[in-house]
Amino acid sequence: MPKKSWTLEQLKKALSSRKDVKGWIITQEHVHRRERYFLLDGNALAIDQDRDVYVQSILARIMVPLNKPDRQGEITKKLFPSLPLAPQLDSAVAAALQTDYQAWSLPEKIASPLSDLKTTDPRMAEDLAGTMNDLTKRVKDCTAQKRPTVFSSAELFLAVHDRELHLSTGLVHRSSQSRAYAEAAYSMMEAPRSSERPKSGTSVPQSDEYLNMRWSVHLDDLAIEEIFAETTDRAEHSLDVSKPTTGKYPVIIDADVLATLFNTHVSQLSAQNAYHGLPFVKPGEDLIPEAKGDLITMTLDPFLPFGADTTVLSDQGIEQRPVKVVDRNRVITTLTDKQYADYLGTHPTTARGNLVIEAGKLSHADLTKQAPVVMEILQFSGLFADPNSGTFSSEIRLAKLYDNRKGSVTYMKGGSLSGSITENFANARFSREVVKRAQFQSNSMQGSGYFGPAFVLLNDVSIVG
Partner 1 sequence: MTPKSPVSRAPLSEDLTELRGRLSALIPILEQKPDWYGSVFYERKASKGFLANLKQSQLSDQISAGIVLRIYDGYTLYEQASDQVDPESLKTIATEFAKKVQNSAPFEGAIKRAYHGAKWSERLSPGLDEEITSQIPSDVQADTFVHFGIRYSEDPSSISGNSCLEQLKAIVSRCRELTPKVGLNPDDLTFVMARQNFSYEESIFVDRETNMSQALYRLSLMIITMSGADRTFCRMGGLGGLETVRITDEEIVDMLRNLKALKKAERLPPGKYRVLFGPVLTGVLAHEAFGHSQEGDTCARGRSKAWELHKSGEVVGNEHATILNNPAIFRNAEHDYAAWGSYFFDEEGWLSEKQVLLDKGILKPPMTNLTSALRLGVARTANGKRESWANGVYTRQTNTYFSAGNKTLDELMTELKDGFLALHPAGGMEDPKGMGIQVGISFLQEIRDGKPTGRLFKGPAGGDIQMTGYTPDILNSIVAKSKIEFNSKEPDKAQNPFNDTGGCGKYHKEFVYAGCGGPYLLLDNVILG
Q: Which of residues 362-381 bind partner 1 (CB under 8 A)?
A: 381
- Closer CB to partner 1, residue 200 or residue 408? 200
Judged by CB under 8 A, does residue 462 bind partner 1? yes
φ/ψ of 452, rounded to 5, equals: 170, -160
- Closer CB to partner 1, residue 115 or residue 389? 389
Judged by CB under 8 A, does residue 240 bind partner 1? no
The answer to whether 81 and 67 are in contact (CB under 8 A) is no
Q: Which stretch binds partner 1 (CB under 8 A): 10-18, 21-29, 90-98, 352-360?
A: 90-98
- Closer CB to partner 1, residue 113 or residue 277? 277
Shortest distance, position 96 Cβ to partner 1, whole Å? 8
- Closer CB to partner 1, residue 208 or residue 358? 208
Site string for partner 1, 256-275 (x = CB under 8 A): -------------------x
Integer Cα distance of 446 and 439 in angstroms: 9
Count of residues near partner 1 by CB under 8 A: 100
φ/ψ of 34, rounded to 5, equals: -125, 135
The answer to whether 215 and 181 are in contact (CB under 8 A) is yes
Judged by CB under 8 A, does residue 55 bind partner 1? yes
Q: Which stretch binds partner 1 (CB under 8 A): 99-107, 258-266, 322-330, 429-437?
A: 99-107
- Closer CB to partner 1, residue 106 or residue 261? 261
Site string for partner 1, 291-330 (x = CB under 8 A): ----------------------------------------
Q: Which stretch binds partner 1 (CB under 8 A): 118-126, 163-171, 303-311, 389-397?
A: 389-397
Judged by CB under 8 A, does residue 442 bind partner 1? yes
Work out which of 203, 345, 365, 408 binds partner 1, going by CB under 8 A.
203
> Residues 292, 293, 295, CA angle at the centre, nearest 5°?
90
Neighbours of 383 (CB within 10 A): 19
Question: With the C-alpha atoms ordered 392, 396, 400, 404, is the resulting torsion angle positive or negative?
Answer: positive
Work out which of 25, 66, 75, 308 binds partner 1, going by CB under 8 A.
75
- Closer CB to partner 1, residue 124 or residue 412? 412
φ/ψ of 264, rounded to 5, equals: -80, -45
Q: What 3-state DSSP class applies to 122?
A: helix
**375 pairs with which residues across the strands?**
251, 401
Shortest distance, position 360 Cβ to partner 1, whole Å? 23
Work out which of 25, 89, 96, 296 binds partner 1, going by CB under 8 A.
96
**73 pairs with which residues across the strands?**
64
Q: Which stretch binds partner 1 (CB under 8 A): 297-305, 354-362, 417-425, 446-454?
A: 417-425
C-alpha distances (whole Å) from 22 to each of 18, 72, 109, 194 are 8, 9, 16, 69
Q: Closest Cα partner for 355 from 278, 280, 448, 460? A: 448
**Tell me, what amino acid is at 378?**
L
> Residues 51, 54, 60, CA angle at the centre, nearest 5°?
145
Q: What 3-state DSSP class applies to 65?
A: strand
Judged by CB under 8 A, does residue 213 bind partner 1? yes
- Closer CB to partner 1, residue 73 or residue 302? 73
Residues numbered 336-365 forming contacts with partner 1, rule: CB under 8 A: none
The answer to whether 373 and 402 are in contact (CB under 8 A) is yes
Work out which of 65, 305, 322, 415 binds partner 1, going by CB under 8 A.
415
Q: Which stretch binds partner 1 (CB under 8 A): 160-168, 367-375, 403-411, 457-465?
A: 457-465
Work out which of 18, 77, 118, 432 binds partner 1, going by CB under 8 A.
77
Question: Residue 94: CB partners within 8 Å, gap ≥ 6?
Answer: none
φ/ψ of 412, rounded to 5, equals: -125, 150
Judged by CB under 8 A, does residue 128 bind partner 1? no
Shortest distance, position 108 Cβ to partner 1, whole Å? 25
The answer to whether 394 and 271 are in contact (CB under 8 A) is no
Judged by CB under 8 A, does residue 278 bind partner 1? yes
Integer Cα distance of 345 and 140 in angstroms: 57
**212 pairs with which residues across the strands?**
184
Work out which of 178, 187, 263, 316 binds partner 1, going by CB under 8 A.
187
Work out which of 69, 87, 113, 198 binds partner 1, going by CB under 8 A.
198
Work out which of 119, 131, 152, 232 binds partner 1, going by CB under 8 A.
152
Judged by CB under 8 A, does residue 2 bind partner 1? yes
End-to-end Cα spacing for the chain: 59
φ/ψ of 326, rounded to 5, equals: -130, 130
Residue 362 DSSP code: B
Work out which of 121, 183, 301, 319 binds partner 1, going by CB under 8 A.
183
